[in-house]
Structure formats: C-alpha cells, structure tokens
Amino acid sequence: MVILLCVVLTIIISVVGMMAKQSIGEASLEKIGKIIEICMCTDLNDDGVVNTDDLLIMANAYKSHPGHEKWNLLADLDGNDLINIVDLCTVAKDYGKTV
C-alpha cells in the first residue's frame, strides 16, 4: 500500500514537474520531490526529519506482520507485509534528511 502510494506520488510529481518547469526552476522541483518523498515514506512520525525516532518506530515493529501486536503499517515501506531489514535500511538511507 505504501509502495503504491509512493509510486502514485512519483507519477504525480513527474507530471506536475513537466507542467511546472516553465514557471519554477529545476532546483525547486527537485526539492519539492524530496520533501514529498521524505514526508510519505521514511519520516515515520511526520516530524520533518528522519532520525532515531523513526528508527525506533521501525525497531518497535521489526519482524512484525499484519495481525501481529507490534504491526505498524507505516513501517512496511516496501509493502511486503513484513517489517524487515529492507524497511530498516530504507529509513537508514534517509537518516538525517529534513523537510
């Protein structure tokens, strides 16, 4: 579900980007794309920064699946119904990024 949302957002960003290139600069479009990517995916607590709080959310849900008491849909970044190393590495990759 999260992956589908990210894909849809990526498509929207691409379309909007093509339409908006004439009115705003290339650097601004890149920044907007990064903001949306961070907001929707790896900034799990939506506080504007990817940091240890997000990693803690991931750690609390680690090895969980739908129906498990620690399941957290937000932490399943690749949408495979399992919180695992792939999801953890995705957050780690963005560590320190801010909106």
List residues near Ca ion by CB under 5 A: 43, 45, 47, 54, 76, 78, 80, 87
- Residue closer to Ca ion, measured from CB, 18 or 39: 39
DSSP tally for the chain: helices H, then strands E: 4, 0
Q: Nearest approach, Cβ of 10 to Ca ion (angstroms)?
A: 18
- Nearest approach, Cβ of 90 to Ca ion (angstroms)? 9
Residue position matching structure tokens 């009115």: 23
Cβ distance to Ca ion smaller for residue 10 or 78:
78
Burial (CB count within 10 angstroms: exposed 0-12, middle 13-18, buried 19+), residue 44 = buried
